[in-house]
Structure 1
Amino acid sequence: MKWFVAIAVDIVLVVVFCAIGRRSHDEAVLTGLLHTVWPFAAGLAVGWVVAVAIARRAAGAEPFDGSRFWPTGVVIWLCTLVFGMLLRVVAGQGTAFSFIVVATSVLALFLLGWRGVVRAIR
């Protein structure tokens, strides 16, 4: 799978995660979506940079594949979650424990789930 397709899938899923969250709290989805998305999008970008760096440092590794579950997907998921939450704290956005639990599980389902499906198909 081309790396830009994998990035596009991840971006769409992070936006969907944020849109679902805004909708479930009866918040304006379109007008406030960027406010909710940017911390997680930044975390996603960090995750991709780290995942590519890890893949390049691995001696004798296969060509980089953004759809790989391990370590690519796990690194991207964890960076999206951790950096997204840290940026929300810095920006004064909410990080209630229940939100962290929901974000952890939904982002895992989204960012790891599609990679698991791709792996199962291959």
Structure 2
Amino acid sequence: MPSTPDSPASRSSSSLSAWRGASLVSDALLIFMFAALGRRTHESGMDPGGILWTALPFLLAWAAATAATRPDRTCTRLWPAGVVVWVVTVIGGLLLRVLFGDTAAPSFQLVTAVVLGVFLLGRRAVTTLVVRARRPSRT
């Protein structure tokens, strides 16, 4: 029997779609925050263009990884999709950063891996807990 617009199945599906969309936006915002925090820490200026330039390699790598992991099904999953997105974002972002003419000192690589790990994996962990808590219990 198909679900009607007001049926529990329909509400659940639209709620999950909203979580997926919010998850994708949150990831992108967290990457921007990573770039802004880094620029602020190193007194590189907080102009929007500079923040975008710093974030761009990581955003491109994240977008490719996210698309490859089928975000319509996996954007809230920590394992394996979240770990794949994190690793590809870090490695791909660092490679693109160097190709764009910036540096990637070992200390920057370590900070990048840790901060993006906390941000991207932490967001997925929190999202998973919230989605589970909001899911009706099956008794």
Category of TM-score, reference length = shorter chain: 0.7 to 0.9
Output the amino acid matched with 2:35: C
The answer for the alignment partner of 1:107 in structure 2 is 116
Q: Which residue of 1 aligns with 2:102?
A: 93
Count the aligned residue pairs. 113
State the alpha-carbon separation in 2 of the partners of residues 37 and 14 from structure 1: 6
Per-residue CA distance 1:10-63 (angstroms, 9 max, x = gap): 0000000000000000111124111101101101111112211xx8xxxxxxx7
Q: Where has structure 1 moved over 3 Å in runs of 4 or more?
A: none
TM-score by length of 1: 0.85
Using the TM superposition, give the Cα deviation of residue 119 of structure 1 relative to its aligned residue in structure 2, in angstroms: 2.5
Larger Rg: 2
* Residue 30 of structure 2, aligned match among 3, 8, 13: 13
Equivalent of residue 86 in structure 2, options 62, 77, 80: 77
CA distance in 1, matches of 2:53, 2:92: 15
Residue among 54, 57, 71 paired with 1:36: 54
* Superposition TM-score, scaled by structure 2 size: 0.75
1:4 and 1:66 map into 2 onto residues whose CA distance is 9
Q: Is the aligned partner of 1:23 residue 2:46?
A: no
Task: Work out which of the residue numbers 64, 69, 86 in structure 2 matches 1:46.
Answer: 64
Overall identity of the aligned pairs, in %: 36
The amino acid across from 2:58 in the alignment is: F
SS at match of 1:26: coil
